[in-house]
Structure 1
Amino acid sequence: MTEKNTAAGTTSVEAQRETLDPETDAMVGEWLTLPDVAERFGVQVTRVRQLLRDNQLIAVRRGENNVLSVPAGFIVDDHTVKGLTGTLTLLKDAKFTDEEALRWLFTPDDSLPGTPVDALRENRGTEVRRRAQAEL
C-alpha cells in the first residue's frame, strides 16, 4: 500500500480493486458511492468500508474518477439484500474475483428466472445459493 493510499484512508483490499470493465458496468446498471451507501444505512463511511473488508458487500472502481461503487441492487431500504452475504461467501470460496461475482450475480439465469440478484431481492436466496454452490 502506498503512502498516498494510507493517507487517504484506503485499505489494502480497496487499493487492489481495479476499474470495472464496461460490459459488467452496464449489466449492473445503477451504482452507489460509499457515502451514498452510508447515508442509506444511516452509518459512517468507515462502517461501509468494514462491510467491504468483511465481504458483506462488493465495491469496484468505476467511472471517470475511478470511484469505489456498490451496485444499488444490493441495497434495500437501509440494509443489504437478504442472502447476499452468504452468496458472496460461496462465490469467494469458488475463487471468484469481485468482478466475476458481479457478472454472475447480474447475468440472467433462465432456471431462476431472472438474475441471481433479482432472486435475492425476491427472497429466493436458497435457489441462488444452490446455484452458487454448484460453482465450487
Structure 2
Amino acid sequence: MNVQQENVAERLETLVDEWLTQPEFAERLGTEVKSVRSALADQRILGVKRGQPKVLCVPAAFLIPAHLANPADAQKDDGSGKLIILPSLRGTIIQLKDMQLSDAEVLHWLFSVEESLGERPLDALLVGNRSAVRRAAQHLL
C-alpha cells in the first residue's frame, strides 16, 4: 500500500460510522456469507481490510430498509425490518472503479462531502439523486 492509499484508509476510519465484517453484513441482510462475497465480486458493495488481524469490512450504510429501495416511490414500512443493499450503489461503484480508483478511494469519495452535491455522494444516493452523483463522479477525471 502506498502512502496515498494509507492516508485514504486512515481517513476512512473517521468518515465511516459503522463497519461490518462479512458475517455481520450477511446476518443483517438475512443471508449467507457467500451472498456477501458475491455482492463484493459483482461490485454491488465494497469493503476494505481493517483491524488486527486485517479483516475485510463493509460499511453498514450500504444497507437500507427494503421499503426505501426506490426513493422516488418509497413504500410504507411493513415493519419487517428487512434490509437490502442500496440498489443505486452498484452503477456508481462501477463508474468509479472504471476510473481506476481503488476500493478505499471509492469509499472515501462516497463518504466525503462532495462540493458539487453539497452533501456526501452516499447521502445523495440514499435520497434518489443517482444522476447527480454520477455527474459529480465524472468530474473526478
- The two structures have a TM-score, normalised by structure 2, of 0.77
Coordinate RMSD, CA, aligned: 1.7
**Native 8 Å contact 2:117 2:136 kept in 1:** no
Greater mean deviation of Cα atoms: 40-49 or 20-29 = 20-29
What letter corresponds to residue 16 of structure 2 in structure 1?
A: V
Shift of 1:110: 2.9
What letter corresponds to residue 140 of structure 2 in structure 1?
A: E
State the percentage of identical aligned residues.
Answer: 42
- The two structures have a TM-score, normalised by structure 1, of 0.79
Partner of 2:58, secondary structure, is strand
Partner of 1:40, secondary structure, is helix
Q: d(CA) in 2 for partners of 1:62 and 1:26?
A: 13
Q: d(CA) in 1 for partners of 2:136 and 2:91?
A: 12
Map of 2:97 onto structure 1: 92
**Native 8 Å contact 1:59 1:70 kept in 2:** yes
Map of 1:40 onto structure 2: 28
Q: Matched residue pairs, number?
A: 118
**Native 8 Å contact 1:82 1:125 kept in 2:** no
Runs of 4+ in 1 over 3 A off after TM superposition: none
**Native 8 Å contact 1:82 1:123 kept in 2:** no
Partner of 1:21, secondary structure, is helix
**Native 8 Å contact 1:82 1:121 kept in 2:** no
Q: Determine if the alignment matches structure 1 residue 101 to structure 2 residue 106.
A: yes
Shift of 1:22: 2.0
Shift of 1:65: 2.5
